[in-house]
Amino acid sequence: MRDVIRLAFLGILGAGLVLPQVISAQTAKPRSSAANAGGALVNGDWAYVGHDAGGMRYSPLKQINVDNVKNLRVAWTYHVGDISDGKGFARRSGFETTPILVDGTLFLTTPFNRVIALDPETGKEKWTFDPMVDIVAGYGDGLINRGVATWLDPSSGAGRICRRRIFEATLDARLISLDAATGQPCIDFGSSGQVNLRDVPGYGHANLGEHAQGWYHMTSPPAVIDNMVIVGSAIDDNNRADMPSGVVRAFDARTGALRWSWDPIPQNRPESTSTWLTGAANAWSIMAVDAERGLVFVPTGAASPDYFGGLRPGDDKWANSVVALHAKSGEIAWGFQLVHHDLWDYDTAAPPLLATLSHDGKLVPVVIQGNKTGFLYVLNRDTGIPVFPVEERPVPHSDVPGEAASPTQPFPVAPPPLARQQVSLEDAWGPTPADREFCREAMQKLRNEGIFTPPSLQGTLVSPGQLGGMNWSGYAFDPQSNLLIVNTNNLMARVRLIPRDKVAADNEEGEYGAQRGTPYAMRRRFLQSPSDLPCGAPPWGNLTAVDMTNGTIRWQIPLGSMQNFGGPHDPVASGAINVGGPITTAGGLVFIAGTTDPHVRAFNIENGEELWKAELPASGHATPMTYESNGKQYLVIAAGGHQRIPEEPLGDALVAFALP
């Protein structure tokens, strides 16, 4: 399961149990002409969700800087109109898009998969495209989409239809190609502009008739390299053991023809008596590409189901990994597994980030890869060999019948962990003595031997919990200072396995996962006191600057506030739950929203000092972006609340800031 905030005090139901209602479903608008598509990218563009193909999230713009950022004001606001409150038949929506800017146009997506083109200076709509996604299909991640990708056809002349294309991967598993200038489907791509990803070979695994449509969907933008568009998938991997394959596939960017497919784990068929049975290990987050090397870097999640691995013995390669694939063939160049035989939902959720570091007196091209564990791995981009040492260390054994946990896990020697991985009874926290005692008693009942303590029948304390650590929010790299900026969470959770014959009698609160096909269902929930605040001491969210030259922490500060979260409290220390990543700029700034309090903030990258804060119409659980248009720099963030936090007001606003 992915990017799930499941604090029980919010009354959040488990995946597959919510039956939301559509508040507003804006239909397609008439399409109008946009500026001519095509042409080279310019310095002020933001052409990928991560700014560049390697996902550094660094902009060379510096009109907005540490001296004048305090003067930022709202320049324009655009309302997409797509909101579901989660009370009817559709799931609750979240607005997590990061727009891209190419050819003088902003392109973004809505929770209902509509694609919108805007004028970057005014926010005025140029065109919209509605793929008419079935929003009541029960997508496990709720109604979200994080953006689009673009491709310029090198064989097409200026002004030709579909010279520049916009690609979107939809919740109902379609890959759609649009003309960037008009929003019209590129009819030479697939079938009238789209490829049904459920019909293409490689979808994978037996018993597909039992798989509901919403179990296999897309939430992240595709990757584009070598005239190909590459997609992974989001899979509801905790419903059952035998889920769809986590296959990654490449399609011809012009025709939509399948070029290659790669499956992170071996195919398992029920008729086989010699192999295990599982699925998923899917790439649901954002990929990075290196065109010069012809490599695609794929982050993979857990094999199904998350919390019991008795049907998938061994390390489960290449689940929970970062894998470099040759773009031309889909063959593995190298792979590095961050978690062996995952039993904790420790997906490699953060996108890979490509950078060049100075190490031992040499410039080294690297892949920086974080994990929900809070560990950060730095790997040589050509070989996958760790740049900072990684040690295989013994970890606790499982006491669950039928389970064989990995005896070791890979621990980076540097950088240090960026999230809390070890808690004791002395760490029990609450705003009152009664709250603290409640938390201490709850923690005392759980198996707790530090990170990688396996799930158990009695219940296990897991820290970090399934949110992480690092989630899809990822990180941003500033090449001027060699600092990596990372936002993380410090939340511990309780996970308990339930024998199949005791499921009917189990009525404990928390998210339920059926894990069908295995001997155990599961329940999990974050630990919180009667005050509704987490049982671990604040800060519950941090922003950290990691010096990537020597693998040390330069500074770390609490990010955001939970002062009014879930109701009024006595004064609470800073540091909030956060989902939504940072960007950096040549102006010496870090911009980030992401917190449960509805603000976007700017920090001085040198020391972490907060320089500016603006209130948003709703919490901004998205990654911002910045661009230049007609000589002015803009900062843009999607503010829509989070699909898994009903206490947060929903919104549909794309907000642009600029200097007066």
* Beta pairing, strands 475-478 & 583-585: unpaired
Environment class of residue 479 by beta-carbon count within 10 Å: exposed (0-12), middle (13-18) or buried (19+)?
middle
Q: What gap in Å lies between CA 379 and CA 364, rounded to an integer?
A: 10
CA distance 225 to 135: 30
Token pair 């399609």 in the structure block, residue: 251
**Ranges assigned E (strand) in 232-318:** 234-235, 248-252, 258-262, 288-290, 295-299
Q: Is 399 among the catalytic positions?
A: no
Is the Cβ–Cβ distance between 434 and 570 less than 8 Å?
no
Strand partners, 29: none
Q: What is the DSSP letter of 436?
A: H
| Catalytic site residue from 141, 345, 347, 652 | 345
* Cα–Cα dist 319/335, whole Å: 10
Burial of 168 (0-12, 13-18, 19+ CB in 10 A): buried
CA-closest candidate to residue 114, choices 158, 78, 157, 65: 78
Strand 583-585, strand 332-337: pairing: unpaired
Write the CB contacts of 88 (distance below 8 Å, at least 6 apart in sequence): 19, 20, 21, 22
Contact 545, 582 (CB under 8 A): no
Distance CA 48, CA 353 (A): 13
Instruction: For residues 29 and 16, give the distance between their C-alpha atoms in angstroms, rounded to a whole number.
Output: 32
Handedness of CA 646, 652, 138, 466 (dihedral sign): negative
CA distance 442 to 525: 12
User: Three-class SS of residue 439?
Assistant: helix
Contact criterion met (CB below 8 Å) for 365 and 380: yes
- State how far the Cα of 487 lies from the Cα of 484, in Å rounded to an integer: 10
Q: Give the C-alpha separation, 127 to 88, whole Å.
A: 29
Q: Which residues 6+ apart lie within 8 Å of 622 measured at CB?
A: 95, 96, 97, 98, 146, 580, 593, 594, 637, 638, 639, 640
């206490």: which residue's tokens?
647
Cis peptide before 539 (omega within 30 of 0): yes
Strand segments (E) across 533-645: 541-547, 552-558, 583-585, 589-592, 599-604, 610-615, 625-629, 632-639
Map residue 81 onto helix, strand or coil.
coil
Tell me which H or E stretch contains 337. Answer: strand 332-337
Measured between alpha carbons, how far is 390 from 378 in angstroms, rounded to an integer? 9
Cβ neighbours of 159 (radius 10 Å): 10
> Which residues are identified as catalytic?
345
